[in-house]
Structure 1
């Protein structure tokens, strides 16, 4: 796709809502494009995360694209958002012109996100799910400070930690058995922050699952909040 008036559908990562994409979305709109920021089921303010699974997230992405009557869509997924994005790309293949992954996890067919994590991290996350009455994973300030946005000031870190919501545990426990964008022949782009500490595997390894080299930009895992100019520029420059 070239020219103006592209439509970007922005998928947030774990614990995040559509609010996390707004700084980037505003820059995409300022460049003349349409940007839709999704909040996935169970991730809205005050929503109950119990009983929600990965297929619900996939269904939501698909239904929003169809409800809005969108075509020639550029899907953009952040972090764990690579999972529902994979399911949506499969079902929306005729309506998606490009898949853009920002510091995103690329699923292995038939394997859940938890199964694709190193064993120690997987055990920790499973313990949090089992200990929760809603079988969700709570966010924490320490995680934000140490892993998500270690380059930001404490005030910003505390604000983001308060905005995060508990994540439905099944988002990490469920698996997909669908072809990825590369298998579907959909052009793809992988963008990665130079100081990202949050991914369970090197970002270059995830990019390689799509046959790509990552486009490196400044920032940590939360660069969509701390470096929105650079994220938006990378997304726009990667358009096909």
Structure 2
């Protein structure tokens, strides 16, 4: 079955993040739409981000699979609450999995992410204080040529507003949801992700052998997982 995949990037990223996955999906007969979110706009929070996604969805026909990387899980959850769109499946990739009534800024302490990240670094013999080393934290398993391309691109200035937006919900949206975690994710360690997904959704994530940037490091594996979910619609 052919579907439209609507792909949201993580915080401070853009459509480029998905550039290795899109050709695989479209080559297999699906449609793919990448949505850039206005991360640098101080007036835009998660609900304004959701408006951007909904606008991109309005002309889509047929089944829709909404795929959200990292912090855009907050945006995706809001989109799935909207009555003017129809999302058939929500897939969260290495997500900041939100809870109703929570903001992205509160998420870190609420989930215990910092302790989990530190414990993993110590267990692997890495410096737990080296949190600003983006290459070590995010790009450790990404091909070198892509790392250079990523660091040569203009940096997206990240506004504080989306981190301050509280998700005004009482429960998880009534949309079929799947979660993908990276087995070597240094930001959201896999055991941490398994716990959060179990506590908040009551399911287990599927795991891909990758770090946090799964679409860059393991595009074929990620595309295969996405297409596998479609078979169950």
**Which bracket does the TM-score occupy, shorter chain normalised?**
0.7 to 0.9
Q: Deviations along 1:25-80, whole A, 9 cap, x unmatched? A: 111111110110110124xxxxx5332222210111111111x2444211000000
Structure 2 residue 228 is matched with structure 1 residue 214? no
User: RMSD in angstroms over aligned alpha carbons?
Assistant: 2.5
Secondary structure of the corresponding residue to residue 116 of structure 1? helix
Give the Cα–Cα distance (whole angstroms) in 2 for the partners of residues 234 and 20 of structure 1: 17
Shift of 1:92: 4.8
Q: Deviations along 1:109-153, whole A, 9 cap, x unmatched? A: 11111111138989xxxxxxxxxxxxxxxxxx9442121122246
Q: Which runs of 4+ in 1 moved over 4 A?
A: 119-122
Give the Cα–Cα distance (whole angstroms) in 2 for the partners of residues 217 and 92 of structure 1: 33
Shift of 1:93: 7.6
Consecutive unaligned residues of structure 1, counting only runs of 5 or more, are: 43-47, 123-140
Secondary structure of the corresponding residue to residue 109 of structure 1? coil
Paired position in structure 2 for 1:133: none
TM-score (norm 2): 0.81
Measured at CA, do residues 219 and 92 of structure 1 come closer, stay the same or move farther in structure 2, by a change above 3 Å? farther
Q: Deviations along 1:184-220, whole A, 9 cap, x unmatched? A: 4321111111101123882113322122101111111
1:54 pairs, out of 43, 46, 53, with 46
Consecutive unaligned residues of structure 2, counting only runs of 5 or more, are: 115-130
Paired position in structure 2 for 1:38: 35
Measured at CA, do residues 58 and 179 of structure 1 come closer, stay the same or move farther in structure 2, by a change above 3 Å? farther
Give the Cα–Cα distance (whole angstroms) in 2 for the partners of residues 39 and 60 of structure 1: 8
Question: Comparing 210-219 with 145-154, which one deviates more in the overlay?
Answer: 145-154
1:204 pairs, out of 186, 194, 201, with 194
Structure 2 residue 10 is matched with structure 1 residue 13? yes
TM-score (norm 1): 0.79
Give the Cα–Cα distance (whole angstroms) in 1 for the partners of residues 170 and 61 of structure 2: 22
Contact 1:144 1:157 in 2 (8 A): no
Contact 1:98 1:187 in 2 (8 A): yes
Structure 2 residue 145 is matched with structure 1 residue 148? no
1:230 pairs, out of 212, 221, 224, with 221
Secondary structure of the corresponding residue to residue 114 of structure 1? helix
Contact 2:77 2:173 in 1 (8 A): no
Paired position in structure 1 for 2:56: 64
Contact 2:96 2:107 in 1 (8 A): no
Measured at CA, do residues 54 and 69 of structure 1 come closer, stay the same or move farther in structure 2, by a change above 3 Å? same
Paired position in structure 1 for 2:123: none
Paired position in structure 2 for 1:189: 178
